Amino acid sequence: MTEGNFVDYVKMHVTSGNGGKGSAHLHREKYIQKGGPDGGDGGRGGHVILKGNSNLWTLIHLKFKRHIKAGHGAHGSSGRSTGADGEDAIIEVPLGTVVRDTETNNVLFEITEDGEEKIVAEGGMGGRGNWHFKSSTNQTPRYAQPGIPHEEKDITLELKVLADVGLVGFPNAGKSTLLSVLTSAKPKIADYEFTTLKPNLGIVKYRDFQSFVMADIPGIIEGAAEGKGLGYYFLRHIERNSILLFLIPADAKDIVEQYEILVDELRRYNPEMLDKERFVCISKSDMLDDELKSEISTILDKDLECNYMFISSVAQQGLTELKDKLWKMLNY
């Protein structure tokens, strides 16, 4: 998926359908005197519904659909005939879509399962026909209820990618390279910072035809909370990841310090993210000889709070062991 095709934020205006009017018809037929009221009810207005679709990975199909309208309910007619319901407007979205009220910014609901449906704007109820209002003292009511008007709402759709493993690291830590080696994804790779401007997803193939999903988000830097770099805009994409995989290059001045900076930025964004399982990979480790690895390991064993391992995406070192480790963390 190219960066230009990844859309994770859409605003739109939705309008449900009006309820149909009830009928005030009085029965008229040859040889039947005083047939009485037989006006039917109006049909329900169409709902605006969001539906989860596991085959979608982005909101690009909604990028230019800024106004969604459902159909109006038909009016009631004679013979107590109820009007047809208005056609529902169904908006298919990828799993992990959060729906907010644009005016209040309150979360209305989230779509997390395939086929899950949620009503974002309810259609108006149809009005009742005059036969509902007949009584012993009012045998020929000549009135019926109007339908209930439609509902309008401005909503914001935010996509939070659903992945098993989320890659976290500074720019140029090797996240995109690792994703390209472990999966069939083709992220942009270059020797300058902030190469990745949009999240990338890939499926890691494992033994016995099993697999898991890995997500690469743009790099974060110290001060992201103040808007430095790309800020926190893409961090919501790892809120739903089961495991946070930290990538720190072997040539970093202080591996432990970089890890702690990354953890602190995640804490400032959402403290609950620190409850996720964490694992550290020392990338670009093909630059290290055994003596340097031993010295770094001594420091990490003492000061690093979670497990780690050395890998090299370019030299294909440690990748099988990494997949084994991630699979074990995901399934045990």
Whether 134 and 185 share a structural domain: no
Quick one: which of 22, 26, 27, 24 has its CA closest to 43? 22
Same domain membership, residue 212 and residue 106: no
* 218 and 186 within one domain: yes
d(CA 24, CA 76): 9
> At which of 161, 194, 212 does a domain end?
161
If asked whether residues 140 and 32 sit together in one domain, one would say yes
Sign of dihedral through CA atoms 85, 89, 92, 97? Answer: negative
Q: In this structure, are residues 240 and 161 in contact, taking their beta carbons and an 8 Å threshold? A: yes
Determine if residue 102 is left, alpha or beta; phi over 0 gives left, psi from -120 to 50 gives alpha, anything else beta. Answer: alpha
Q: Which residues are annotated as a binding site?
A: 169-176, 194-198, 216-219, 283-286, 312-314
Q: Residue ranges for the binding site for GTP? A: 169-176, 194-198, 216-219, 283-286, 312-314
Nearest CA to 92 out of 56, 124, 140 is that of: 56
Indicate whether 196 and 293 sit together in one domain: yes
Q: Which domain holds residue 76?
A: 1-161
Beta bridge partners of 37: 26
Domains: count for the chain: 2
The answer on 270 and 234 residing in a single domain is: yes
- CATH of residue 10's domain is 2.70.210.12
Binding residues for Mg(2+): 176, 196
The pLDDT of residue 177 is: 86
Structure token digits, residue 322: 């990494």
Q: What is the full per-residue pLDDT of the chain (332 aa) written as tens digits? A: 444 456 778 999 999 999 999 999 988 887 777 778 999 999 999 999 999 998 887 888 898 899 999 999 999 998 889 999 999 999 999 988 999 999 999 999 999 899 999 999 999 999 999 989 998 888 889 899 999 999 999 999 988 776 788 888 888 778 888 888 888 766 555 454 444 456 677 788 888 878 888 888 765 655 554 555 444 556 766 777 888 999 999 888 899 999 998 888 888 877 888 888 999 999 989 888 889 989 999 999 999 888 999 999 888 888 999 999 999 998 87
- Are 121 and 260 part of one and the same domain? no
What would the 3-class secondary structure string for 49-60 be?
EEEECCCCCCCH
CB burial of 160-188 (b: ≥16 within 10 Å; e: otherwise) equals bbbbbbbbbbbbbbbbbbbbbbbbebebe
Give residue-wise pLDDT tens across range 278-300. 999 999 898 888 899 899 999 99
180: CB partners within 8 A, 6+ apart: 186, 187, 189, 202, 313
The one-letter code for the residue type at 82 is: T
User: Does the model's pTM come out above 0.85?
Assistant: no
As a whole number of angstroms, the distance between CA 44 and CA 5 comes to 37
